[in-house]
Chain A
Amino acid sequence: DTGVSQDPRHKITKRGQNVTFRCDPISEHNRLYWYRQTLGQGPEFLTYFQNEAQLEKSRLLSDRFSAERPKGSFSTLEIQRTEQGDSAMYLCASSPRQGETEAFFGQGTRLTVV
């Protein structure tokens, strides 16, 4: 499978716990994006990377959220001290380069905070 891969697909955690999600983009895609989606809404931009550099972060990304892409390949998104409001689908996407090219999405990680 050469698409965007996300792990895990589902995560249930207790409030206050930390969670980490992983995204493996399509090979050789320079750009990697994280989005969050709640029921009934379109995906909301969180942050994106050009290779290993994090170029932009949304105001949605509070200080409890951190994303990394240490070697310019896979990326991780960590949420510390999870809150019930963090429950959502976390989507990762990648694209070959800047410009008018589509972003390819993974299947997402569904987070439920109880």
Chain B
Amino acid sequence: GESVGLHLPTLSVQEGDNSIINCAYSNSASDYFIWYKQESGKGPQFIIDIRSNMDKRQGQRVTVLLNKTVKHLSLQIAATQPGDSAVYFCAETYNTDKLIFGTGTRLQVFP
């Protein structure tokens, strides 16, 4: 099938370890952020979101951290599993709800 992100930065982690994926966003006025997971041949899948009035939000095995001072977003995945292998994108939006995507990161999980 189609491979997404052939030339993307890659993070390789061992199964069971924690993963941290980073993203620098572009617009200091952005007020809403989303992390998406994209598997080969599929559309992006929502993982977790965060508003600009928060600096941390937790989901099931995932945590998003927002540092507005340096326009940085991170996604932490606890106890990474083989099924987490995919390309991860952060997206930002301001007011109009048009999502602007960042450069993705490929996560590879090995046994």
Q: Name A residues whose Cβ lies closer than 8 Å to a Cβ of B.
A: 4, 31, 33, 35, 37, 39-45, 48, 55-56, 89, 91, 93, 95, 98-100, 102-108, 110
Can you name 17 A-B pairs with beta carbons within 8 Å? Answer: A33-B98, A33-B99, A37-B4, A40-B8, A41-B104, A42-B91, A42-B101, A42-B103, A42-B104, A43-B99, A43-B101, A55-B96, A93-B43, A93-B99, A103-B46, A105-B45, A107-B43
- Chain A residues with CB below 8 A from B43, complex form: 4, 91, 93, 105-108
- Chain A residues with CB below 8 A from B32, complex form: 100
Contact A39/B46 with A44-B101, A56-B98 known, Cβ cut-off 8 Å: no
Q: Please tell me if the beta carbons of B99 and A40 are within 8 angstroms of each other in the complex.
A: no
Q: Please tell me if the beta carbons of A42 and B49 are within 8 angstroms of each other in the complex.
A: no
Q: Please tell me if the beta carbons of A42 and B102 are within 8 angstroms of each other in the complex.
A: yes
Interface size class of B (residues with CB under 8 A): 20 to 34
Chain B nearest Cβ from A29, distance in angstroms = 12
Contact partner, A48, options B7, B44, B98, B104, Cβ 8 Å: B98
Identity of the chain B residue whose Cβ is nearest the Cβ of A44 in the assembled complex: B101
Contact indicator per residue, chain B 68-93, by CB within 8 Å of chain A (1) or not (0): 00000000000000000000010100
Q: Please tell me if the beta carbons of B42 and A107 are within 8 angstroms of each other in the complex.
A: yes
> B3 at the A/B interface (Cβ < 8 Å)?
yes
CA distance A39 to B51 in the complex (A): 29
Q: Please tell me if the beta carbons of A40 and B44 are within 8 angstroms of each other in the complex.
A: no
User: Which residue of A35, A100, A106 has the most chain B CB atoms within 10 A of its CB atom?
Assistant: A100
Contact A102/B97 with A39-B6, A42-B102 known, Cβ cut-off 8 Å: no
Chain B nearest Cβ from A63, distance in angstroms = 21
> B100 at the A/B interface (Cβ < 8 Å)?
yes
- Chain B residues with CB below 8 A from A45, complex form: 98-100
Considering the complex of A and B, which 7 residue pairs feature the smallest CB-CB distances, nearest first?
Answer: A42-B101, A105-B43, A40-B7, A102-B46, A100-B32, A105-B44, A42-B89
Chain B nearest Cβ from A101, distance in angstroms = 8
Contact partner, B97, options A4, A41, A99, A110, Cβ 8 Å: A99
Q: Please tell me if the beta carbons of A98 and B97 are within 8 angstroms of each other in the complex.
A: yes
